[in-house]
Structure 1
Amino acid sequence: MTPHTEDSPLRMHHLWSLREDTVVGWDEEGRTLVLSSPQGTERVEDPAPAVAEALRRMELGPVLLANLLQSNGGAVPGHDTYTVVLSVLRGISHVVIRTLSLEDLKGPVLSVVPMGRTARFSLVRLSAQRRVQLRPTVTITVRGDVFLVQCRTLEHRVEIHRPEAMWVVSLLAWPMTPDAMVEVLPLPAELTLAILAYLAGAGMTVAAG
């Protein structure tokens, strides 16, 4: 990995997409967006143009919501457009994939994929001085060039795409504080902490005694 310096600031992107098995389309009247997936069907009634465009783009792959909404210019009268879109996405979070990426053209770092009908995800910022470790029931397997971090009792799995994320996961085999991980790993501190926030949000970490 290229060393992080003040002349080459780290640019992280938090991306959103729909599961690949989710199809977005309009109902017969053209007023309701219908999302169909193996987990069921969701309906978004009378969506604002910004919501419809966000879901259309997310069906194609990961997007940076802020950039998408800015370029789309689809303001929602009387409301903050970003908040409106996020509200809709929370309602369909069981088909929404969250991805951490870097602006270095090397692809995503990791993705959190919902696996259950009631899956809800949000980033969890861990205490810098509190020791954490992998949940004991977590398993790590390989599928192609992706490491899958998952647990039968959790409603998300984490797909590791790059070695930076796997370095963090490997340290979690032992109780360790986020501060200690930042000191040990040859990564920018903000990247290490972001990877931890995704892992913790997916339920993969637990507090260590």
Structure 2
Amino acid sequence: MVVIPPPEESPLRLHHLWSLREDTAVGWDEEGQALLLSGPQGTERIEAPTTVVAEALHRMELGPIRLANLLQPKDGAAAGQDSYTVVLSVLRAISHLVIRTLSLEDLKGPVLSVVPAGRTARFAMARVPSQRRVRLRPNVTITVQGNAFLLECGALEHRVQIHRPEAMWVVSLLAWPTTPDALVEVAPLPAELTLAILGHLAGAGMTVAAG
């Protein structure tokens, strides 16, 4: 399995969104020099954050954002890319607090969200080779949580919230061993969306190799 960074956009208008766990509060320390991220797992301290890092975290506290929206065209492409790199570095350091959401630009809401469940949780979207047979991890449970389905497994450090039928179609097809190519052929979805859903499920550990 090859780990790849998710693209910011695509012709299908897939969006990769970032937010903080709902139980995480963001605030400044008493000197106003460091950001404190507080939650049930303790407090993370980010010393002397740049303006764009502070803005990103405050906005992520309120809900999912596209990191590309933080880039300032007036600063030039190089400066914007530098800011983007700095933000990504901070988010990787606090990845156990960061929710990753896949969305479509169709005003119907998010497709799925990968939620960290452990302090050492590290998520990266994964690309499964086109002919590799995979299936849903056998001990993954599927329950209803509000308006979403929740996939979880005690051995994993992420949960996956399924917000839309498109993601559930892919999950249901993974009940039996299949390949990404077969999923693309069978699922009634654009190929890129099918593979993005699979990539998030695989990155969260919800799939295993099948013989």
Where structure 2 has 5 or more consecutive residues not aligned to the other structure, the ranges are 1-10
Q: Distance in 1 between the 2:74 and 2:61 partners? A: 16
Query: Identity rate of aligned residues, in percent?
Result: 77
Q: Residue in 2 aligned with 1:82?
A: 84
Q: Distance in 2 between the 1:145 and 1:90 partners? A: 29
- Cα gap change, 1:15/1:66 in structure 2, threshold over 3 Å: closer, same or farther? same
Residue 86 of structure 1 and its aligned partner are, at CA, apart by: 0.4
Where structure 1 has 5 or more consecutive residues not aligned to the other structure, the ranges are 1-8
Check whether the contact 1:13–1:103 (CA below 8 A) recurs between aligned residues.
yes
Q: Which moved more, 1:65-74 or 1:47-56?
A: 65-74
Work out whether 1:194 is the aligned partner of 2:167: no
Q: Residue in 2 aligned with 1:108?
A: 110
Q: Residue in 2 aligned with 1:185?
A: 187
| TM-score of the two chains, using structure 2 as the length reference | 0.91
Q: Distance in 1 between the 2:66 and 2:17 partners? A: 5
Q: Residue in 2 aligned with 1:68?
A: 70
Instruction: Letter of the 2:201 partner, please give it.
Output: L
Match runs of 1:56-205 below 5 Å: 56-70=58-72, 80-205=82-207
Work out whether 1:20 is the aligned partner of 2:22: yes
Instruction: Letter of the 1:125 partner, please give it.
Output: R
- Cα gap change, 1:60/1:76 in structure 2, threshold over 3 Å: closer, same or farther? farther
User: What are the superposed Cα offsets for residues 102-137 of structure 1, whole Å, 9 maximum, x if unpaired?
Assistant: 000000000000010110000001101001001111
Instruction: Letter of the 1:117 partner, please give it.
Output: R
Residue 81 of structure 1 and its aligned partner are, at CA, apart by: 1.1
Stretches of 4+ moved more than 6 A in 1?
Answer: 74-77
User: What are the superposed Cα offsets for residues 9-67 of structure 1, whole Å, 9 maximum, x if unpaired?
Assistant: 52100000000100000000000000001011000000011100000110010000011
Q: Residue in 1 aligned with 2:45?
A: 43
Instruction: Letter of the 1:180 partner, please give it.
Output: A
Residue 71 of structure 1 and its aligned partner are, at CA, apart by: 6.8
Q: Residue in 2 aligned with 1:52?
A: 54
Q: Residue in 2 aligned with 1:6?
A: none
Check whether the contact 1:16–1:98 (CA below 8 A) recurs between aligned residues.
yes
Residue 75 of structure 1 and its aligned partner are, at CA, apart by: 9.5
Q: Report the 3-state secondary structure (helix = DSSP H, G, I; strand = E; otherwise coil) of the residue aligned with 1:203.
A: coil
Q: Distance in 2 between the 1:86 and 1:16 partners? A: 10
Q: Distance in 1 between the 2:37 and 2:183 partners? A: 40
Check whether the contact 1:34–1:41 (CA below 8 A) recurs between aligned residues.
yes
Q: Residue in 1 aligned with 2:4?
A: none
Q: Distance in 1 between the 2:119 and 2:136 partners? A: 24
Q: Distance in 1 between the 2:208 and 2:48 partners? A: 41
Q: Report the 3-state secondary structure (helix = DSSP H, G, I; strand = E; otherwise coil) of the residue aligned with 1:14.
A: strand
Residue 80 of structure 1 and its aligned partner are, at CA, apart by: 1.2
Check whether the contact 1:35–1:42 (CA below 8 A) recurs between aligned residues.
yes
Residue 144 of structure 1 and its aligned partner are, at CA, apart by: 2.1
Residue 72 of structure 1 and its aligned partner are, at CA, apart by: 9.3
